[in-house]
Amino acid sequence: MTAERTGRWPVWLTPNLRVLCAVSFLADTASELVYPVLPIFLTTVLGAPAAVVGGVEGAAEATAALTKIVVGRLGDRRRKRPLIAVGYALAALGKIIVAAAMIWPLVLAGRCVDRLGKGVRNAPRDALLMVGADPTRRGRIFGIHRAADTAGAVVGPALGLGLYELLGHHIRPLLMIAVVPAFAAVALVAAVREKPPTVTTFAADSAVVDTPGRLLPARLRTVITVLTVFSLVNFPDSLLLLRAHQLGLSVAGVIVGYIAYNAAYALLSYPAGAVSDSLPRHFVFAGGLVCFAVGYLGLGLAHSPAWVFVVLPVYGGFAAATDGVGKAWIADLAPAAHQSTAQGVYQGLTGAAVLVAGLWAGLFWQTDGRTPLLISGSVALVLAVVLALTGSRLSRAGVAHGDVAPVGR
C-alpha cells in the first residue's frame, strides 16, 4: 500500500465512486435500451403524430433541467444518498409507466417522471463524488464515472437492437425488459455510504435565504454563463441521428452509428478527465468544442452515409472532453458547502439551453437540415479559439469560504 493506492485500487477510486459507476452503468443501460425505439413506439404502436415525439422529449428534458436547479440546493442542506435513491427510483417508475402505456399521453407522463428522477439524482450524486476527493484528481473521478455511465449507452442500444430482432420487432416487451436494470440500479444505491452533515455546515446552510445562483462565487457564475451560452447551439442528439437517416442510413444503421458515438465517448472520457488534471480544464474543454465543430460541420457537409461512421466517433470526443471535464471545472470553483448547488445550477441551465437550441434548430430543420448544423459547428469553432486564448482567467479557483484552491488551477 502506497500513498497512491489502497489495496488494488487507486486512492481516488473510492468505494462510493465504484458503486456509483455501477449504478450509472445499469441506469443508462436501461434508458438507452429504450431511447432508440421510443419514437417508433409512439408513432407506430400508439399512433401519435410525429410532432408528439419532439414534444414528449422536450417536456421531459425541461422537467429534468428545472429539477436540477431546485434539488441541487437541497443536496447541500440534506443527506445526498436518499435523494440519489429517490431519483433512480423515479426513473425506474417512469419506465414502468412507458412500458404499460396504451395512449401517448401516458408515455409523456412516464418520460417526465423518468427525467424528474434524473433531475433529483444528478447534482447530489456529482456532489457526493467530490466529498473527500483529491482536488488534483477531480478530472479522473468525473471521467471514470462518465465512462461507466456511457458504457451503458453502448450496451443498452446494442442489447435493444438484438432483443428487437429476437422479439420479432415487438417493442413493448423490450420496454418491459428495460425495467430490470433500472431497478437493479436502485437496489445498488444502498451500498453508497455517506456521513451525516455536520451541525455547523447544516446550521450555516439553513441560514442562507438567497437564490442558488447568488450563493456561488462570481468567477463560477461567469463560467456557468459561458458554458450555457455554448449550449444554445448544442441541440439534442436526436437531430444528429435524424440527419444520419436523411443521408441514407437504415434504422439499424442509425443505431450502429449511435453506438459508435457512445463507444468513443466512453473510451475517451477517462483519458480526457486525466489530461484535465494536468492541463488547465479550459484547454481540454476547448479541444472538445473542436470535436463538436468537426461533428456538426461534417454531418452538415457530408453527402454519403459512410461519413456518419467517421464523424460520429469524433463527435464522441466532444462529449468525453466536456461532460466530465465541465463538472470537474465547476467543482474546482465551487465552495465545498455548495457543490450540489453549483452542479445543479450548471446542469440545469445548460440543459435548458439545449432545449432552446432544439427549438431553433427544429424550425430551421423544416426547410434545410444542414443549416443548423453549419451554424452550430461554426459558432463552436469560434468559441473554442476564444476559450483557448482567454479561458485561463476563468480557470483560476480562488480561496472561498475556507476552501483550499485546487493544485495547478
Sign of CA dihedral 159, 161, 167, 172: positive
Give the per-residue pLDDT at 393. Answer: 77
Q: Looking at the predicted structure, is the pLDDT value of residue 403 above 70?
A: no
The mean pLDDT value of the chain amounts to 84
Give the per-residue pLDDT at 239. Answer: 80
Count of other CB atoms within 10 angstroms of residue 169? 11
What are the tens digits of pLDDT across the range 186-204? 999 999 888 766 544 444 4
Mean pLDDT, residues 255-261: 88
Using a pLDDT cut of 90, give the percent of the chain over it: 42
Q: Looking at the predicted structure, is the pLDDT value of residue 165 above 90?
A: no
Give the per-residue pLDDT at 51. Answer: 63
Give the per-residue pLDDT at 408. Answer: 36
Q: Looking at the predicted structure, is the pLDDT value of residue 205 above 90?
A: no
Give the per-residue pLDDT at 198. Answer: 55
* pTM for the full predicted model: 0.81
What are the tens digits of pLDDT across the range 225-253? 999 999 999 987 878 887 888 888 887 78
Report the CATH fold assignment for 11-193+211-394.
Growth Hormone; Chain: A; (1.20.1250)
Q: Looking at the predicted structure, is the pLDDT value of residue 1 above 50?
A: no
Instruction: Tell me the sheet residues that pair with 6.
Output: 9
Mean pLDDT, residues 372-389: 93
Q: Looking at the predicted structure, is the pLDDT value of residue 267 above 80?
A: yes
pLDDT-derived band at 399 (thresholds 50, 70, 90) equals very low
Give the per-residue pLDDT at 236. Answer: 79
Give the per-residue pLDDT at 203. Answer: 41
What are the tens digits of pLDDT across the range 44-95? 788 887 667 667 777 888 888 888 888 877 777 878 889 999 999 999 999 9
Backbone angles phi, psi at 336, to 5 degrees: -60, -35
Give the per-residue pLDDT at 21. Answer: 94
What is the domain partition of the chain in residue ranges?
11-193+211-394
Please give the Cα distance from 45 to 50 (Å, whole number): 12
Using a pLDDT cut of 70, give the percent of the chain over it: 89
What are the tens digits of pLDDT across the range 104-116? 899 999 999 999 9
Give the per-residue pLDDT at 25. Answer: 95
Give the per-residue pLDDT at 204. Answer: 42
What are the tens digits of pLDDT across the range 312-335? 999 999 999 999 899 999 988 988
User: Looking at per-residue confidence, does 344 or 297 come out higher?
Assistant: 297
Q: Looking at the predicted structure, is the pLDDT value of residue 207 above 70?
A: no
What are the tens digits of pLDDT across the range 295-317? 999 999 999 999 999 999 999 99
